Every structure is written in C-alpha cells, then in structure tokens.
Chains A and B, each alone.
Chain A
C-alpha cells in the first residue's frame, strides 16, 4: 500500500514532470499560451500515458527485449490516434487550437520514458498509479506555467478577465521567447525551494 502512495506522489513533487524530469519540453512551451489548451493537452497526455503504461506492463513478459522500443512506440502511437480522433469528434475547438501538438504526443519523451524506465519492470497496478501520478503532475505543471503566462501576458485566466481594466498585458510572455524565460524562471525557483527544504531536513536530522 505504501508503495502505491509513494509511486503516486513522486509524480506530484519529487519527480514532477517536466520541471524535475526535464522531458517533453516542446509541447510544454508551445501550448502554455492559454490555460485551456494546457489542460487539453494535459488530458491527452494522461490518457496516452495510462494506456501505454498499462499495456506495456501487461505485455512486459511477452515483448522481446531487443525490439521493445519499437513495440512501445507502436502502443503509444495507437493511444495518440485514439485521442486525436476522440478530440476531433467531441472537442473540435480544442482540436484546432492544439493542432499539430496532438500527434506530437507520440514523440513526447515523457511517455516513452515512463514505459522504458518504469512500466516494463513493474506490475500493472503500480504502472497505472505511476501513470496517474506522472500525468497529473504534468497537467499541473502545464496549468501553473499557462496560468502565469496567461495572467501576466493577457490578463485573463481561462478566458476570464482577472486583471484591473487598466492592465494592458505584457505580450512578451505570450511570445515564444517568453516561454523559455518563464520555464527557466520556474525551474530556478524550484531549485531554490528544494534547496531550502533539503537544508531544513538536514537540520531536523542533525538536531
């Protein structure tokens, strides 16, 4: 039981993607211009991650080691196709906003990384928990970054105006260049926070 909790929570802070586990940055930078698209892509990634982790874990004794990457890629690509078709049918607006980034989930290193590093060695339950934790962590990070960029950049959150009327917005943050700087800033802040936490832990242990 404690193992399940541990595998779930590691995705939420200790190894939170993509801040700690710097994988799959391309889509992170591109879709965080608005909270809506960030949540949309996050949902897609959660689905693909769960599907690939569960399937890889189920098939872990059958997949020959030498061709495993190819098998993983085929599993992931099938998941992406499901997401693509479902989104096109039920969330057409979001589908158009996300555009090329939905098929690009297939090359999101996070999904392949979890299959390779975790799911192919662990049981189905643990693989599912890992996928949920990592997926929720990824969506959370995307939402935080997107909120920051949307609020500072245009003064709205989820399309609702949150800043005072005189606020004109700061378009630089919404532009590609701002994405790199914002992400770099968040990573630096996380380094500061975890350095503080570590120092406190060491003090507590020493005392």
Chain B
C-alpha cells in the first residue's frame, strides 16, 4: 500500500507529466486561459487517459505480442486512441447528455494530446503490469489536472492585469508555466 502511495505521489507531483516530462503541453497552453475550460479539459483527460491506457495495454499484451507485431505499436495505439475517443463521444452523448455537454468539445482535442499516447507507450516501455499501468495513468492525469488548473487560475488574473504587448498570449503563458514548473521542481528530492 505504501509503495502505491509513493508511486502515485511521484507520478502526480514529483515527475509531473506536464511540467517535468512535457507531455500534453499543447492543450495546456491552449485551454489554460479560463478556469471553466481548464476544468473541463482536466476531467476529460482523466477519463480518457485511464480508458486508453487500459485498452492499449490489452492490445499490446493480447494482440501485438502474440502475433509478433510489436513494431507497429505506434500505429496500433494511435488508431485505438482515436477510435476510443470517438466511441466515448458517441456513448456519452446517448447515456449522459449533461456530462457530454460539459466535456463534449474537449474530447476531439484529446486525440492529439500527447499525454494519452505518451502514457500508453511509457507503460509498455517500463514493463508495468495492468494494475500498475492503470494507477500510473490515473496519477499522471491527476497531475496534469493539478498543473492545468494551477496555471488557469494564474492566467485568469492576467485578464485584469496590465501585461506588456509583446508578452500577451503565448509568451506570458509559457513564462508563467516555467515559474510554476520551478516550484514543482523543488520537490524532486522528495522520493
């Protein structure tokens, strides 16, 4: 149990997927402008990340490896993820319309979120078992959400502050991310 706690803590904070490992930077910069969209994106990511990782893990273990097709891993995973996102979209629309209204517009963006694909590949490279892989997927997505919401809450303040014209938009977002990353980096010695 203690091992799992440490494992999760490490994935959520110390090796934060976004600020330390740079996976999922595009949506991070894109949607961190407002709090509502950040929360929507975060929730959609947690949901899809866990599903996609478990599915990709199964595809690797039960399809690619027995058939000796490991070299098309990249192709297989991206197709699985793209199909899954479409499926989730359709199912949510039918089964849970309120949830779909909240997350709907963020779902298509997730296909090209490097975090989902990256976590699926990392799990295979590090030879994790199924439970570990799912725990890792959940923790990284949680870490992503924390970083996204932190940055969104800072950037919301920018709307009322006076920022030099050259720094508006992406530059200020990136520099803020750099400072937030520094605070996460301070925890590296923890585990």
Binding site for B on A (CB under 8 A): 22-27, 29-30, 69-70, 73-74, 77-78, 80-81, 84-85, 99-100, 103-104, 106-109, 112, 172, 175-181, 183-185, 187-188, 191-192, 195
B75 A81 Cβ-Cβ under 8 A: yes
Kindly state whether residue B29 has any CB partner on chain A within 8 Å: yes
B residues near A78, Cβ cutoff 8 Å: 75
Give chain B nearest CB distance to A86 CB in angstroms: 12
Kindly state whether residue B72 has any CB partner on chain A within 8 Å: yes
A–B pairs, 13, beta carbons within 8 Å: A25-B25, A25-B26, A27-B114, A73-B79, A73-B82, A81-B75, A100-B118, A106-B117, A176-B21, A180-B181, A184-B175, A188-B166, A191-B165
B residues near A178, Cβ cutoff 8 Å: 178
Contact code string B1-12 (vs A, CB < 8 Å = 1, else 0): 000000000000
A184 B26 Cβ-Cβ under 8 A: no
Given contacts A73-B79, A74-B79, contact A100 B72 (CB under 8 A): no
* A70 to B86 alpha-carbon distance, docked (Å): 11
A residues near B170, Cβ cutoff 8 Å: 22, 184, 187
Give chain A nearest CB distance to B87 CB in angstroms: 13
Residue of A whose beta carbon sits closest to that of B24: A26
Most chain B C-beta atoms within 10 Å of own C-beta, residue among A69, A180, A195: A180
Given contacts A29-B25, A81-B71, contact A176 B114 (CB under 8 A): no
* 5 closest Cβ pairs, A-B complex: A184-B174, A180-B178, A181-B178, A177-B181, A184-B175
Number of A-B contacts (CB under 8 A): 121
From A73, A85, A104, A191, contact of B171 by CB (8 A)? A191
Give chain A nearest CB distance to B22 CB in angstroms: 4
A104 B114 Cβ-Cβ under 8 A: yes
Kindly state whether residue B99 has any CB partner on chain A within 8 Å: no
What 7 new A-B contacts, CB under 8 Å, besides A175-B185, A184-B171, A184-B178? A74-B79, A77-B79, A177-B181, A180-B177, A181-B174, A195-B165, A195-B166
Residue of A whose beta carbon sits closest to that of B23: A26
Residue of B whose beta carbon sits closest to that of A188: B171
Give chain B nearest CB distance to A96 CB in angstroms: 12
* A10 to B125 alpha-carbon distance, docked (Å): 38
Kindly state whether residue B182 has any CB partner on chain A within 8 Å: yes
Residue of B whose beta carbon sits closest to that of A83: B74
A77 B78 Cβ-Cβ under 8 A: yes
Residue of A whose beta carbon sits closest to that of B188: A175
Contact code string B77-110 (vs A, CB < 8 Å = 1, else 0): 0110010000000000000000000000000000
Kindly state whether residue B122 has any CB partner on chain A within 8 Å: yes
Given contacts A107-B112, A180-B175, A191-B171, contact A77 B75 (CB under 8 A): yes
B residues near A179, Cβ cutoff 8 Å: 22, 178
* A24 to B113 alpha-carbon distance, docked (Å): 10
Kindly state whether residue B40 has any CB partner on chain A within 8 Å: no
B residues near A74, Cβ cutoff 8 Å: 75, 79
B residues near A104, Cβ cutoff 8 Å: 23, 114, 117-118, 121
Given contacts A104-B114, A179-B178, A187-B171, contact A81 B166 (CB under 8 A): no
From A23, A100, A107, contact of B125 by CB (8 A)? A100
A70 B72 Cβ-Cβ under 8 A: no
* A69 to B112 alpha-carbon distance, docked (Å): 11
B residues near A172, Cβ cutoff 8 Å: 182
Give chain A nearest CB distance to B114 CB in angstroms: 5
Given contacts A26-B26, A176-B22, A177-B182, contact A77 B74 (CB under 8 A): yes
